[in-house]
Amino acid sequence: MLRRPLLAALALGLLSPTGFAPLNLWFVTLACLAVLLWLVHEAPTLKSALLRGWVFGIGHFTIGNNWIQHAFDYQDRMPPVLGYFAVLALALYLAVYPALAMGLAWRFSRSVAPGDGRPDLGFVLAAAAAWIVSEWLRGTLFTGYPWNPLAVLWLPTPVAQTAAWIGTYALSGIAVLAAGTLLLGATRRFVPLTVTAAAFVACFLLPASAPRPAAGAPHVRVVQPNLGQENVDDPDYPERAIEQLMQGSGQPGAVPRLVVWPEGMVNHYVEDDYPDPRFYRRGDPRWVRGKIAAILGPRDVALISGNALFFDSTGKLTGAGNSVWPLEPSGMLGQRYDKAHLVPYGEYLPMRGLLEPLGLSRLVMGDVDFVPGPGAATLNVPGFGKVGVQVCYEIVFSGQVVDRKNRPDLLFNPSNDAWFGTWGPPEHLAQARLRAIEEGLPVLRSTPTGISAVIDARGKVLGSVPASQQGAIEMPLPRPLPPTLFSRVGNWMVLLVAGVLLLLAVAIRRRAS
């Protein structure tokens, strides 16, 4: 028995995020989880098991979310040092979820026909089921924060393709199950370890390639201007941003092009008929749209991202939208998408009447809150089919990115990862790849400073522009796969897989009694 189990749990938690991008040492994370399960199994009381899971979570989420601190480097009204406290405060909360999972696993191991005192398959199955439920809760409660699910560990391996059937949260449970079988092997229970190894090898037989585009298929051009947050306050930034985006958009070719731009890079208002003309001081919206449309060929369409404004019946400004529009060569805007899953304290201030007097409005950019859109929607883009839009971190919410009544042909994910240091952008890209696998849809990611990418419907990155580089990707538009099982069932698979694992755990433990 370790003399300092809490210190060991903290060390394991600090080491475990190395399995995520950009390091991708997934086998290290599995080993950390295996030792955590042993620590929890050996805990003398439920309180100690919960505490070990919580301390592990503090280390895990502090390192995994270190990129959040960098956002404070660009916030003039808040000192950057507060970013470190924000990361720790968030980790103290998020750690509740692995604590819950480990507490449930410990309770199962003590309450259902105890075995010979060693960790057994029943305990491991119960831990996997509990982790699935706790991770789903983390992605749901209080608007949800599902960043870095354990499922992303599998992206370097063929196991990731099973997300098309069971989804991200259930695939995270499979990571705990795999870690648990390592523990069982270490305690000389070799049968579960052999079965897990065989299942891992079998995953190499899963399809790994998406259908190729037909000859003459439309192209997509993803633009990355490499303009960071440090440039935003420059007086000429709006004009410079549009100029660099237009330069990166290239020239019309022989086939239609879908030109996609990053989140929030159009700093001019592009909609007509706002009641207060002062909002148009940066330029008439018709002039702005015409300027952008001038780069398009007769069969091209651009997907542009900026802010919409909302007014009440008296003409008073009531809020803003983080919005995306298709722009046609005529300069006409198509159907607008408004971001639905907004970032609390980033795009709006929760409980504003209570928190604003405390000075916390300084956390929020701008003078008004963003207003959430109605949810996942599909835009009809002539010549290119149906496009689903998920703005920035909306893409990390498993099971919430597609309008299931109007399934799109692809997903567009404009984002601004310039806030988030070196770890945030690759972690964000990894989670977008999981959405592609789950839904069987290609994903187009365009960001100001990287990592921009074209992802096929199997989650493979077909082309990318590295971080901190200016560039563009142009290639045939990837094709979707038929609807996956997960795209039909959604996160009901979470309860189904967790329930099956728990029933197996009970059956195995009772059979052994």
Separation between Cα atoms, residue 368 and residue 249, nearest integer Å: 32
pTM of this prediction? 0.92
The answer to the question of residue 162 being in a domain is yes
Please list the alpha-helical segments (H only) found in 332-482: 352-355, 424-439
* CATH code for the domain in which residue 403 is found: 3.60.110.10
pLDDT at 76: 62
CA atoms within 13 A on the CB side of 251: 2
Whether 213 is in a domain gets the answer no
> CA gyration radius for the chain?
24
Name the burial class of residue 228, with classes exposed (0-12), middle (13-18) and buried (19+) by CB atoms within 10 angstroms of its CB.
middle
Same structural domain for residues 329 and 441?
A: yes
152 belongs to a structural domain: yes
Instruction: Give the pLDDT confidence score for residue 315 in this predicted structure.
Output: 85
Looking at the structure, tell me whether residues 382 and 413 fall in a common domain: yes
Does any domain span residue 146?
yes
pLDDT string in tens for the chain (513-residue length):
568 999 999 999 999 999 999 999 999 999 999 999 999 999 999 999 999 999 999 999 999 999 988 877 766 666 778 778 889 999 999 999 999 999 999 998 887 655 557 788 889 999 999 999 999 999 999 889 999 999 999 999 999 999 999 999 999 999 999 999 999 888 877 777 777 777 777 877 777 778 888 778 899 999 999 988 777 778 888 888 899 999 999 999 889 999 999 998 898 899 988 887 778 877 788 999 999 999 999 999 999 999 999 988 888 888 889 999 999 999 999 999 999 988 876 676 654 454 444 444 444 455 677 889 999 999 999 999 999 999 998 999 999 999 999 999 999 999 998 888 889 999 999 999 999 999 999 999 999 998 999 999 999 999 999 999 999 999 999 999 999 999 999 999 999 999 999 998 888 877 765
- What's the pLDDT score for residue 378? 96
Q: Residue 214 domain-assigned?
A: no
Which among 339, 434, 337 is positioned nearest to 135, based on CA atoms?
A: 434
Write the CA distances from 398 to 97, 154, 169, 342, integer angstroms.
Answer: 17, 16, 8, 15
Instruction: Looking at the structure, tell me whether residues 126 and 264 fall in a common domain.
Output: no
- Residue 223 contacts residue 305 (beta carbons within 8 Å): no
* Whole-number pLDDT of residue 103: 97
Q: Which two tokens stand for residue 356?
A: 């604003």
Task: Note whether 227 and 203 are same-domain residues.
Answer: no
Instruction: Quote the pLDDT of residue 453.
Output: 97
460, burial (CB in 10 Å: exposed 0-12, middle 13-18, buried 19+): middle
Q: How far is CA 400 from the centre of its chain?
A: 11
Q: Identify whether 485 is part of a domain.
A: no
Domain encompassing residue 90: 5-208+491-512
pLDDT of residue 222: 97
Answer yes or no: do 267 and 163 share one domain: no
pLDDT of the residue at 354: 47
Nearest-angstrom CA–CA distance, 57 and 67? 17
The terminus-to-terminus CA distance of the chain in angstroms comes to 26
Please state the domain count of the chain. Answer: 2
